[in-house]
């Protein structure tokens, strides 16, 4: 697969965004007060690592297979997050979650633009899959914040 200069630029931007997501989630996981939040951040960092690997594959000229009907949703705690945030950590937790939610909104927007700019349908499909998972991350962050009175 040959990429245009514009496609390379967009994928390089996505690569930087994925690395930022990994770094932030790992940093926030280190100081998260609630065990479910710590696990949530660690899970998201792992999934962002998969996204980074996918972007690197695209940049090297390979289009990875996108699992059909698959998403990251099944990797998250479906029982909810209520009561995971101690009162003493509410302010810091709200800040970290809001920071990550804004980051996910930006990542999703970046993928939205990139999808429109890609020439090959297979590449658009891969980016669409990643964008869906970024949106699921935002959903999980919103659920955590909502369940703990932080939104």
Q: Domain holding 40: CATH number?
A: 1.20.1260.10
Q: How many other CB atoms are found less than 10 A from the CB of residue 48?
A: 28
Burial of 128 (0-12, 13-18, 19+ CB in 10 A): middle
pLDDT of residue 70: 66
Average pLDDT, the chain: 94
Q: Indicate whether 80 belongs to any domain.
A: no
pLDDT of residue 66: 81
Q: Indicate whether 84 belongs to any domain.
A: no
Residue 134 domain boundaries: 5-59+89-147
Per-residue pLDDT reduced to its tens digit, 103-126: 999 999 999 999 999 999 999 999
Token reading at 17: 């965004």
Q: Indicate whether 71 belongs to any domain.
A: no
Q: Indicate whether 21 belongs to any domain.
A: yes
Position 143 pLDDT exceeds 80: yes
Return the ∠ at Cα 89 (arms to 42 and 86), rounded to 5°: 90
Looking at the structure of the chain, the number of domains it has is 1
Predicted confidence band of residue 100 (pLDDT cuts 50, 70, 90): very high
Q: Decide: 28 and 100 in contact? Cβ < 8 Å.
A: yes
Q: Indicate whether 14 belongs to any domain.
A: yes
């Amino acid at each position: 697969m040959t990429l245009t200069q514009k496609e390379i630029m967009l994928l390089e931007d996505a690569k930087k965004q994925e690395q930022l997501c990994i770094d932030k989630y790992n940093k926030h996981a280190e100081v998260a007060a609630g065990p479910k939040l710590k696990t949530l951040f660690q899970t998201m960092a792992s999934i962002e690592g998969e996204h980074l690997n996918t972007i690197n594959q695209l940049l090297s000229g390979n289009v990875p297979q996108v699992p059909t009907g698959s998403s990251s949703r099944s990797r998250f705690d479906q029982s909810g997050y209520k009561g995971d945030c101690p009162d003493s950590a509410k302010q810091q937790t709200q800040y970290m979650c809001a920071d990550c939610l804004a980051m996910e909104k930006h990542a999703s927007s970046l993928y939205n633009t990139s999808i429109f700019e890609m020439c090959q349908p297979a590449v658009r499909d891969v980016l669409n899959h990643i964008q869906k998972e970024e949106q699921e991350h935002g959903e999980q962050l919103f659920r955590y914040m909502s369940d703990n009175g932080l939104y």
